[in-house]
Amino acid sequence: MKLALVGDIGGTNARFALWRDEKLESVRVLATADFAGPEQAIGHYLAGLGLAVGSLGAVCLAVAGPVSGEHFRFTNNHWRLSRSVFCRTLKVDELLLINDFSAMALGMTRLREHEKLQICPGVADPDSPAVVIGPGTGLGVGTLLPLGEGRWKALPGEGGHVDLPLGNLREATLWQQLHDQLGHVSAENVLSGNGLLQLYRAVCAVDGHAPRLASPAEVSAAALAGDPLAEDVLDLFCGWLGRVAGNNVLTLGGRGGVYIVGGVVPRFAAFFQKSSFARNFASKGCMSGYFEGIPVWLVTAEYPGLEGAGVALQQTAR
């Protein structure tokens, strides 16, 4: 019997695993920069396990960007994919492509209690949509809909590219600085790894500081070490994430809760819990009361996108 493979491919890393008996096996993380395309990366993955091309029956790849048609161009790396060429090259019977945040949303159905931290208390409405949002290489946004009988639907979208919302004069001043540099200012321009550095430089420009930090990691590390400027930047980042997440809850009726995912926020989880996220999340004027009882969790699971790709394969098989 042929094997099933799942993949979660972002801008920087591609994660692969075998999917057997509804569980992940042999997870490997490869740098996308090291391979010409997904076929080469998966071939390398299989070779590392002593498996030949042709061992795979079904493959589900979670990919960043809108999915449709024969061809797919990855949003944040140089890879491209043709469905027919992929299946022919790897001798695969079935290829399922899904949006990466659709996979991330489906992955929330497999979380264990120790894989999430509560940011805002509440009880999720099991019949309502849940919002899944996460800064990483970009900003991903997904929606999880319960269908009953243990089935779920994940709605794909490009919510990371909505306009950056403004809630006070300070944010408006920073937005103007960002607009002068970028033109259109999307949520992703601030709420991503590179966005954190972009925000730091904007704060320095507005407040008259010479920028001395050169990477997102340096900004977050300085904030955690007590540097006042970096703390201000990181809190602005968290607060803006709260505004965007809250907007999604209002748009979707997301009383099923909010899951904060991605590789950025878990690096400063304790700071995030005390940040302006929760205040800005529910700061919606006459609709602020709507947010009472809506839970928010920070997801710390290692491979939720891979888990969600496995759930997608299962549901397709059914």
* Binding residue ranges for ATP: 7-12
Residue/partner pairs of 182-189 with CB below 8 Å, 24 or more apart: 186/160, 186/161, 186/162, 187/139, 187/159, 187/160, 187/161, 187/162, 187/163, 187/240, 187/244, 188/138, 188/139, 188/160, 188/161, 189/164
Question: And the tokens for 107?
Answer: 């992955």
Count the Cβ atoms, other than its own, within 10 Å of residue 23.
11
The secondary element (H helix, E strand) that includes residue 221 is helix 216-224
Residue among 147, 149, 142, 148 at smallest CA distance from 105: 142
3-class state of residue 100 by DSSP: helix
* Annotation: binding site: 7-12
